[in-house]
A = this chain, B = another copy of it.
């Protein structure tokens, strides 16, 4: 258990100098610094970060609140986040909330008890449910419009409009939607884009075409079953994430409905699996890694500087055309 005192003794300096050699090398003469470094190396000294963190009232930990880690979109985002955080000397603490607000409370306690310096929230903001304490360093990632704290995201409304525009350009006019939960902000933002597109094309909005899912594959399957029972089926289906699109597509096909010949399907997220469905899925590519990196960057700045020059970071998305949408013209 070699500590700072031992190194000081070996190097023949005071513990203050050892500390300075690490944290403020410029305040130590080149010669003594060398002596200290050498002592550290021969004794394989590793500063006790618990003491360091305690003393400097910084944990160098970022808490990420994720509704479902098993969704590869979130997992990929977190990979980016972690990659960046690591380069800045921060580690990431995982908080899988299972989409339950009460679980968030438990994790937020890590902040209060000083075990994390800030949080990255992957669940879109909900005014009713949010329990963000004041002055908590927090940034939203892949969130929604109107988040009251800094956030990094794409323009969900515009992206949804892009998808719908494309469906319409392919001759579809009866376009179904498999949405997330009605009061989820992603659902709202994306539905707005869908409706805008319809409106511009002069197609009347038909709410019976919107089926409520909850961003899970099981819900995508259920939604597809509802589509199967409709008398007048849509010719195309816009699913608000790839998980639901993948499940819906499979459900449709296993019930004898061909994709895209009978019903076209589009997704949202561009998780890797969407490239390997049959047919490969047309979808919106959210730059998951980049959103994660950027969110980490903003959070760390917020922690270290106490403020951000800018609060909204809207990243570009890409529309990926594959083979799950058929042209009607």
Contacts and interface: CB of A to CB of B under 8 A. Distances in A.
Interface string A70-110: 10100110110011001000011111100000000010011
A251 B106 CA distance: 45
A179 interface: no
Contact of A247 (B46, B251, B254, B276): B276
A126 interface: no
Interface string A237-250: 00000000011011
User: A interface, by DSSP: helix, strand, loop or mixed?
Assistant: helix
A61 B115 CA distance: 10
A94 B96 contact: no
A207 to B, nearest CB: 27
Interface stretch (A13-21, A35-43, A47-55): A47-55
A320 interface: no
Interface string A94-132: 111000000000100110111100000000000000000
A209 B166 CA distance: 44
Contacts of A49: 113-115
Given A70-B272, A273-B246, A278-B278, A79 B93 contact: no
A115 B91 contact: yes
A169 interface: no
Work out how many copies of this chain go into the complex: 2
A286 interface: no
A96 B78 CA distance: 9
A213 to B, nearest CB: 14
Interface in A17-69: 46-51, 53-54, 57, 59, 61, 69
A5 interface: no
Contacts of A253: 278
Contacts of A54: 48, 50-51, 53-54
A57 B54 CA distance: 12
Contacts of A94: 78, 82, 91-94
A300 to B, nearest CB: 16
Interface of A: 46-51, 53-54, 57, 59, 61, 69-70, 72, 75-76, 78-79, 82-83, 86, 91-96, 106, 109-110, 112-115, 217, 221, 246-247, 249-251, 253-254, 272-273, 275-278, 280
17 contacts: A46-B109, A46-B113, A48-B114, A50-B114, A61-B93, A69-B75, A70-B75, A70-B76, A70-B79, A78-B94, A82-B95, A86-B106, A93-B93, A246-B273, A249-B278, A273-B273, A277-B277
Given A46-B109, A49-B115, A50-B59, 16 more contacts: A46-B114, A48-B54, A48-B114, A50-B54, A50-B115, A51-B54, A70-B79, A82-B95, A92-B94, A93-B94, A217-B273, A221-B276, A246-B276, A253-B278, A273-B273, A278-B278
